[in-house]
Structure 1
Amino acid sequence: MATKQQLQQRLDDIDAILASGSTSLQVDGVTVSFDHAALKNERARIEGELGKKTRKPVAYRVNLGG
């Protein structure tokens, strides 16, 4: 299991990729493509592991009786 520092570093890396808006990168003839949907899913998973993200309630209680 990764340490909190490693998870935070990965989260920062994902944020940088998403903020740049790039979908691919080419270095020395090697092209790397980024799937933004998969990165967002991984970001949510890491936030859950770090305890930064709380789930929204599935249902809300609405009282219409006055």
Structure 2
Amino acid sequence: MVDKYTSLCDAIAENPIAADILMSYGIATYDITENQFSSLEEISIRYGIDINSIVNQINSGLANLY
């Protein structure tokens, strides 16, 4: 399960749908960027996005896979 302390790389490794969710917010996920090893919380602050929204969407995507 993904939380606000999960790095972008770990979130995508756990659930590839996370990349699509993050890109929908304009967050670069595939290029070598400072985002790759940042926590989801750090990224949400950097982009001015609600962390709870991101985490809930990613975890909802995870729930739909099982």
Q: TM-score per shorter chain, which class? A: 0.3 to 0.5
Q: Which has the larger radius of gyration?
A: 1
* Structure possessing the higher relative contact order (Cα contacts under 8 Å, 6 or more residues apart): 2
Give the TM-score, by structure 2 length: 0.36
The structure richer in helix per residue is 2
